[in-house]
Amino acid sequence: MTVSHGCYDVVVIGAGPAGAVASSLLADLGYRVLVLEKEHFPRFSIGESLLPQSMAFLEQAGMLQAVVEAGFQHKNGAAFTRADDYDCFDFREKFSDGWGTTFQVQRDRFDKVLADCASAHGVEICYGQTVVAVTTMADAVQIDVVSEDGSAYQVGAAFILDGSGFGRVLPRLLQLEKASTLAPRVSLFTHIKDNITDAGFDRNKILITVHPEHPAVWYWLIPFSNGRASVGVVLPRELHAGSECTECELLQQFIAEGGMLQRVLENAEFDTPVGIIDGYSCDVESLYGERFALLGNAGEFLDPVFSSGVTIALKSASLAAEVVHQQLQGLEPDWQKEYAVPLMQGVDTFRAFVEGWYDGRLQDVIFADGKSEQIKEMISSILAGYAWDTGNPYVRDPRRLTTLAELCRK
């Protein structure tokens, strides 16, 4: 195979959290790793509320200290409100062992912190590079790349990981995409100067608000450490399509109907354009194949309601790095058994809770009076990202959520 831009052990598409952690873990094992990133960092991204489980993966990759020192907003739980109902989950009071706190982060800064850590670990990161084709050969993968200046070149690698997130480079190039089982929804979002003075609002928790009349419509409010916040609304596609308002007007219109959220944001300054993602849920035919694997959102993205995206991305990076290591050592790892199955165990737990959120079961549990502390700790563990802890009955069998909802309704 002829290449004009060098040959690597591993090429990673995307320098986001999944790509940064996977590449850093592999570089620490002595491999020559190249990351090809289409954008330049820092760059805007949503998915700003981390889960405590993610801290273990950042620690594993040697990135935790840099994240702690970056000065992000402390996070210890999640609060939920619907009309006059309110309840919160403190992630320090959970069923599973492990971290009980984390951070709420501006992703432009957070992602750059992780990418810079990967560089410090010996990873070569090239920004402004677009992967346009991938060809698998007997002993290597050929990657065709176009630089931002229009020049084209090829890179060779023994293995390729796709951490391109919503860019979903390999699923598009290799025809791996398939429709999600989740209903299509639209997300409108922006950053604001929040000016929050409400004494009842806890900046250490993400606030999830359910629309008082439309339970399928919900909002997030993620406060940052600098007096700003991320705010967004998720709604069925038909509600968005039927509106004649601008995106900013529609977002503010829904916030005005949000009960506690409206009161908390009564002094907010909407000083940033509103973004939109339409039909964000996605799936693939396979998470791996001949000399490639998909990380995080490049494989499957569920829904933003439980902020699971970064945690799943980091879990996939941790799992994939170990299996790639085995493969590059000449072993024959079982990618289905050692990567896809363990990764999907947690994804399927989150999926069951996402489905339970939209069909009302989980909302009925969250807002129920008189929940036992043990049950609340089990739910808190999953909300904190411990969706792989099979000691938790609701991870081992997420169908238990249906029985729990029926009990709460009674």
Determine the 3-state secondary structure of 79 from DSSP.
strand
Per-residue pLDDT of the chain (410 residues; tens, 9 = 90+): 333 467 899 999 999 999 999 999 999 999 999 999 999 999 999 999 999 999 999 999 999 999 999 999 999 999 999 999 999 999 999 999 999 999 999 999 999 999 999 999 999 999 999 999 999 998 899 999 999 999 999 999 999 999 999 999 999 999 999 989 998 999 999 999 999 999 989 999 999 999 999 999 999 999 999 999 999 999 998 888 877 788 999 999 999 999 999 999 999 999 999 999 998 889 999 999 999 999 999 999 999 999 999 999 999 999 999 999 999 999 999 999 999 999 999 999 999 999 999 999 999 999 999 889 999 999 999 999 999 999 999 999 999 999 999 999 88
The pLDDT value recorded for residue 130 is: 98
The pLDDT value recorded for residue 5 is: 60
Distance, in Å, from the CA atom of 298 to the CA atom of 313, rounded to the nearest integer, reads 9
Distance, in Å, from the CA atom of 393 to the CA atom of 8, rounded to the nearest integer, reads 43
Q: What is the DSSP letter of 148?
A: T
The pLDDT value recorded for residue 46 is: 92
The hierarchical CATH code for the domain 185-278 is: 3.30.9.100
Give the CATH class of 7-75+96-179+281-346.
Answer: alpha beta
The pLDDT value recorded for residue 342 is: 98
Statement: the pTM of the whole predicted model exceeds 0.75: yes
Positive or negative, the Cα torsion across 31, 36, 42, 44?
Answer: negative
Distance, in Å, from the CA atom of 248 to the CA atom of 288, rounded to the nearest integer, reads 39
The pLDDT value recorded for residue 138 is: 85
Q: Which residue has the tokens 């944001």?
A: 265
Distance, in Å, from the CA atom of 160 to the CA atom of 165, rounded to the nearest integer, reads 15
Same fold, 7-75+96-179+281-346 and 185-278: no
Domain boundaries, the chain: 7-75+96-179+281-346, 185-278, 359-409
Q: Which residue has the tokens 């792989």?
A: 388
